[in-house]
Structure 1
Amino acid sequence: MLTSPTRRRRAATILSLTAVLALGATMAEARPGGGSGGMGSRGSRTYAPPAATTTAPSTAAPIQRSQTQPGMNNPGMNPAAAQRPRFGGGFMAGLLGAGLLGALLGGGFFGGLGGIASFIGLMLQVGLLVLLVAFAVRWFRRRQGTPAAAGHARSTLDGNGPGGSMNLGGGGAPLGGMGRGPAAVQPVQARPVQIGPGDFQSFEIALNGVQEAYGREDVASLRNLATPEMAGYFIEELRANEAKGVVNRISDVKLLQGDLSESWGEGNAEYATVAMRYAIKDVTLDRRTNRVVETGEPEAVELWTFVRERGGRWILSAIQQGR
Structure 2
Amino acid sequence: MNFTQRASGMMKAFAIVLSLALPLMFAVSAADARVGGGSSYGSRGSRTFSAPPVTNTAPNAARPIDRTMTQPGRPNAGAPASGGFFNRPGMGMLGGLAAGFLGAGLLGMLFGGGLFGGLGGLSSIIGLVLQIGLIVLLVRFAMSWWQRRNAPAYAAGPAPTPGPAAAQANPRSGLGFGSASNAPPLEITPSDYEAFEHLLGNIQTAWSNEDVNTLHTLATPEMVSYFTEDLRANDARGVVNKVSNVKLLQGDLAEAWREGNTDYATVALRYSLIDKTVERAGGRVVEGGDQPQEVTDVWTFARRGGGKWELSAIQQT
Question: TM-score, normalization: structure 1?
Answer: 0.56
Cα 1:160–1:209 change in 2 (3 A) is closer
CA distance in 2, matches of 1:250, 1:28: 14
- Residue number in structure 1 paired with 2:72: 70
| Structure 1 counterpart of 2:33, from 12, 24, 30 | 30
1:25–1:309 CA distance, 2 compared to 1 (3 A): closer
Aligned equivalents of 1:213 and 1:241: distance in 2? 15
1:7 maps to: none
2:299 is matched with 304
* TM value normalised by structure 2: 0.57
Q: SS of the counterpart of 2:55?
A: coil
Query: Gaps spanning 5+ residues in structure 1: where?
Result: 1-10, 75-154, 162-190
Structure 2 residue aligned with 1:192? 185
- Measured after TM superposition, the shift of residue 192 of structure 1 is 2.1
Q: Tell me if the contact between 2:42 and 2:69 (Cα under 8 Å) persists in the aligned partners.
A: yes
Deviations 1:216-254 (A, max 9, x none): 000110010000000110011111100110001110000
Range 288-297 or range 266-275, more displaced: 288-297
Aligned to 1:45, what secondary structure does the other structure show? coil
Q: Please name the residue that 1:44 is paired with.
A: 46
Cα distance change of structure 1 residues 302 and 278 upon mapping to structure 2, 3 Å threshold = same
**Do the aligned partners of residues 204 and 72 (structure 1) sit closer, same or farther apart at CA in structure 2, a change above 3 Å counting?**
same
SS in 1 for 2:38: coil
Name the count of aligned residue pairs: 201
Distance 1:304 1:204 in 2: 11
Task: For residue 259 of structure 1, report the CA deviation from its aligned partner.
Answer: 0.3
Match of 1:60 in 2: 62
Counterpart Cα distance in 2 of 1:156 and 1:27: 35
Q: Which residue of 2 aligns with 1:205?
A: 198
Change in 2 beyond 3 A, CA 1:157/1:321: closer
CA distance in 2, matches of 1:277, 1:30: 17
- The aligned amino acid for 1:302 is D
CA pair 304-285 structure 1, distance change in 2 beyond 3 A: same
Q: Shift in Å at residue 72 of structure 1?
A: 3.1
Q: Please, which of 256, 268, 284 is the counterpart of residue 277 of structure 2? A: 284
The Cα shift of 1:310 comes to 3.9
Distance 1:24 1:266 in 2: 36
CA RMSD, 1 decimal: 3.3
Q: Distance in 2 between matches of 1:223 and 1:46?
A: 21
Q: Identify the residue that residue 229 of structure 2 maps to in structure 1.
A: 236
- Cα drift, residue 32 of structure 1: 1.1
